[in-house]
Amino acid sequence: MDKIRVVKIGGNVIDNPEALSSFLANFANLEGNKILVHGGGKIATELSKSMGITPQMIDGRRVTSQQDLEVVTMVYAGLINKNIVAQLQAKACNAVGFTGADANAIVSDIRPTQPIDFGLVGDVKTVNGKAISGFVEQGVIPVFCAITHDGNGQLLNTNADTIASELAASLVDFYDVELIYCFEKQGVLENVEDENSVIPEINPSYYEKLKAEGKIHSGMLPKMTNCFDAIKKGVKSVKIGSPEVIRNENQLCSIITG
C-alpha cells in the first residue's frame, strides 16, 4: 500500500511570511503523496477588529457569529489558502485549495449549544476519503483550510487539528497514513519553560500521567486527543514537532503511539 502524509501547519507559521515560505519549500520537496491542512493565524482576528467586530473567545476558542464566519471564510478559504496554493505552484507543487464543501469532502454537524454556545462551529461528521484519494491519484495536492459545511448549505468554522486527524483517518483504507502536526516548538514539552524538554514518545498511559502532573494542559490537550483518535482509527504514525520534521526524518519530535 502506498504511503501518504497529512501535514498540518499551525497559524504561528502562517503569521510569519519567512517561516511560511521556508515550510512550503520543504513541503513542496516532500516526496510521495501528501495533503496539507492549515490553520488561520491572527489575520482573521486583525481583519475583524478593523471592521469593528470584536472577536469573542471562550477558553481560547473563537465563538463564531455570522459576521465572524464571513470573515474567517474570506481569510481562511480565500486569502490564506490561495496564497499557500500560489506559493506551492511556484515551487512546481500542483496544489488545489479546498474547503470541506468542495467535492463534499468534509461534512460537519453544528456544535451543540450546551454547555457553551460557540455559534457556527462544526464538529466533523464524515470525510469523503474516496474522493480525496481520487484527487491525490490524479496528481493533485489538496490544501485544506479550516472551513467545512453541514450538507445543507451552511459553512462552519472547524478546528484545523481535528480536520487533519479526521482526514488522515479517512484515508487508512487507501494508504499507509502518517499524520504530522507542525508548530513552533520541537515537540510536546515536559517543561514549557525549557525548549529542549521534548518528550520523544507518548502513549496513552504516559499521557494520563503527564496530564495528572499538569505537564500537558490547555491548548495541547485537544491536539493530543486528535492524535490518539487518529491512531485508534488506523493511522500508522503521528508526530508533533517543528516544520523541520518534514525535511529531516531524524529531527527530534514527539511520536504519539497507541
What's the CATH code of the domain at 169?
3.40.1160.10
- More confident of the two residues 48 and 91: 91
> What is the DSSP pairing of strand 141-144 with strand 155-157?
unpaired
The tally of CA atoms less than 13 A away on the side-chain side of residue 164 is 30
Q: What pLDDT is stored for residue 56 in this prediction?
A: 85
Are the beta carbons of 109 and 44 closer than 8 angstroms?
no
Are the beta carbons of 64 and 118 closer than 8 angstroms?
yes
Look up the domain containing 32 and give its range.
3-256
Go through 108-131 and write b for each residue having 16 or more CB atoms within 10 A of its CB, e for each that does not: bebbeeeeeebbbbbbbebbebee
Question: Residue 256's beta-bridge partner residues?
Answer: 202, 238
Q: What pLDDT is stored for residue 11 in this prediction?
A: 78
Q: Name the band, by pLDDT with cuts 50, 70 and 90, for residue 141.
A: very high
- Asked if the model's pLDDT at residue 61 lies above 80, the reply is no
Number of domains in the chain: 1
- More confident of the two residues 98 and 216: 98
